Chain A
């Protein structure tokens, strides 16, 4: 790997970690689509701030973008609070409008500056290594690492400092309000973090990848654990792995890096969705299958126990009778009897199924439950 590639990889991993932290709370608070809205509208903040300071490298741009991110939240809430449109409609109205203003403003600048709406949407992380941070002529690596590193630290610090408040306001906003924490303050604080992260990351990776990194890894982690700190950790881990995997994918296919990373996030989520130990689709399907067999076996035992010692016992305990009585297919019935025999619950004597003492116990237990 060349040093430029290592730089790209580093930037990607730092961005992924910085996005995963506020993203976890967005996913838990069911506001994932706000990441989409904010990552689009920060562009307006950048353009407006650019009109003021006329310098694309100025940190004022981040402040302006964060403010417009908050403005998005305020506008969405104000619109839905009129009661005239629902919240999803409000989001769907506000962010395209703000984004449109930004695109039109940019096109009015027409080539005067290197600020391009395509680039914002798509990002070009491949250029990150060429923009060096070199105070006093000392090369300290790409600027993007420093910017995103600082944002990662801010996210970490805020989450650690207000962990209790965030947790409470996320899981029980009513209790949080009753205890005197302001859920609104937590809400806007979180949205400010989302905005800052989105604007910091958009330059490096583009706004669409910001959405992927904010929502995908936490959604995957949500399927793996019920424990908030563990979910945060897993999100960072999955995000960083996807970013690295996406970079590898992009080099393999010689494709757009941000796009490949978003794709990698999708692959990671799909894998988790399928293979998660408890909530995965495979685990669930296996559990259902196992339950089906267990249930069928229990039905067999209870049936035999019910008719044990009755006059019709010889009819009722004939192996072929099970198919008719339970409406089981022949091979299914045979397998149920086979597994019950293997487990020493029943024995087959002279065309009659008999419960073993062990089987009688199991039947009693199943019937009670």
Chain B
């Protein structure tokens, strides 16, 4: 890994790869955040598969492998796929999931047909198109990176320029419409930006897995914040981290680039789901566990206090544990008693029975008071 890192500064190819992957991550992360918020994760999947015939046709028609030409073809095809999905849903009773799956597979199938035409051509220049399926970072050239940066910059600039509109559309489209915003046009624009996010990464990650790069950084970033600006920034950072790490890993381990980047991004999502503050599953579980424990403690104190009350004068008379565990189960009660004893609120007598200490009795009194609603007459 150290070799790779030092290589980053000297090795030209490695630097190109890292730069390109970072660009791809930033662009797809920032623009993908909106796809996650707008429930368009699967639309991204459909569009990235659908880009294949665009790439293939662009090559077949122009004979050029210039990244901008292929990206343009991919963008047009992806855009048409989105239009087809919306069109089918709007004009028929076919639901959006069917429309997406159908469009995805039909476009991809058409792409395969076009690819067979290309394969029949004389060998010159056709090499490299198959890399669009799974991507290959190592094949990235400086011209690729320059194009990616340029196209990505257009996408990010569009995002910033219409930030307010996109924000409103994503969270409250009805309100946006009542304000007189042309929601349909803004919607089309935002979806077009998603197309940009997808085509930027096609050569590195490939059509099959590009959707994950649109979804994963956004899904991870969502866990850390409730603010849109922070989320989009984080998402871009996660995307860049996954892109660079994945690309470098795949070059050193000689695995396919796309899958490696996707797995790194998925790792980021898992970490975020588990450990993000406030929303992270680990913290949620811990909070639940802690409050359950507190409830058990309070309940045992209350039980002991009511038993003590029945004994009138002798408040610290020991009681058998069997009198306590009827409802909660012995293990819970025993654990609670041990903790109470450690805090000096309860103690075990020589007979084996338990009672509250005077401090415990005071605590029980305080708890009972705080539990009663204020202002209620006794």
Write the residues of chain A forming the contact surface with B, with a CB cutoff of 8 angstroms. Answer: 27, 30-33, 35-36, 40, 79, 82, 84-86, 88-89, 91-93, 96-97, 99-101, 103-104, 107-108, 117-118, 121-122, 208-209, 211-212, 214-216, 218-219, 222-223, 250, 253-256, 258-263, 265-266, 269, 273, 279, 281, 284
Contacts and interface: CB of A to CB of B under 8 A. Distances in A.
Given A84-B222, A88-B42, A107-B255, 9 more contacts: A82-B273, A85-B273, A88-B39, A91-B41, A92-B45, A100-B259, A104-B263, A262-B106, A265-B105
Chain B CB count within 10 A is highest, among A36, A96, A222, for A96
Given A82-B273, A84-B223, A259-B111, A104 B256 contact: yes
B109 A212 contact: yes
Nearest to B246: A100
Q: Report which residue of A36, A219, A250, A259 has the largest number of chain B beta carbons within 10 angstroms of its beta carbon.
A: A259
Interface string B178-212: 00000000000000000000000000000011011
A262 B112 contact: yes
B62 interface: no
A36 B49 CA distance: 11
A101 to B, nearest CB: 7
A137 B212 CA distance: 48
Interface in B113-170: 113, 115-117, 120, 130, 133-134
Contacts, number: 200
Contacts of A100: 209, 212, 258-260, 262-263, 266
Contacts of A208: 49, 104-105, 108-109, 112
B93 interface: yes
B364 interface: no
A256 B112 contact: yes
B281 interface: yes
| Most chain A beta carbons < 10 A, residue from B42, B102, B212, B269 | B102
A93 B266 CA distance: 7
B100 interface: yes
23 contacts: A32-B102, A33-B42, A86-B41, A96-B208, A96-B215, A96-B262, A100-B258, A103-B259, A107-B256, A117-B134, A122-B112, A212-B102, A223-B94, A250-B113, A256-B112, A256-B113, A260-B113, A261-B109, A262-B109, A263-B110, A265-B102, A273-B94, A284-B91
B98 A219 contact: yes
B281 A33 contact: no
B interface majority secondary structure: helix
A74 B15 CA distance: 40
Contact of B88 (A30, A256, A273): A273
A92 B255 contact: no
Contacts of B95: 27, 30, 32
Question: What 6 pairs between A and B have smallest CB-CB spacing?
Answer: A262-B109, A259-B112, A266-B106, A96-B212, A100-B259, A212-B105
Chain B interface bracket (under 10, 10 to 19, 20 to 34, 35 or more)? 35 or more
B219 interface: yes
Contacts of A104: 255-256, 259-260, 263
B26 interface: no
Contacts of A262: 105-106, 108-110, 112
Given A96-B262, A99-B209, A99-B259, A258 B109 contact: yes
B42 A92 contact: yes
A122 B208 CA distance: 12
Contacts of B40: 88
A216 B106 contact: yes
B102 A266 contact: yes
Nearest to B45: A92
Given A209-B109, A216-B102, A92 B215 contact: yes
Interface in B65-123: 88, 91-95, 97-102, 104-113, 115-117, 120
Contact of A36 (B99, B104, B120): B104
B44 interface: yes
A91 B105 CA distance: 17
A93 B216 contact: yes
Nearest to B41: A92
B104 A84 contact: no
Contacts of A85: 36, 219, 222, 273
Contacts of B116: 253-256, 259
Contacts of B49: 208
A92 B212 contact: yes
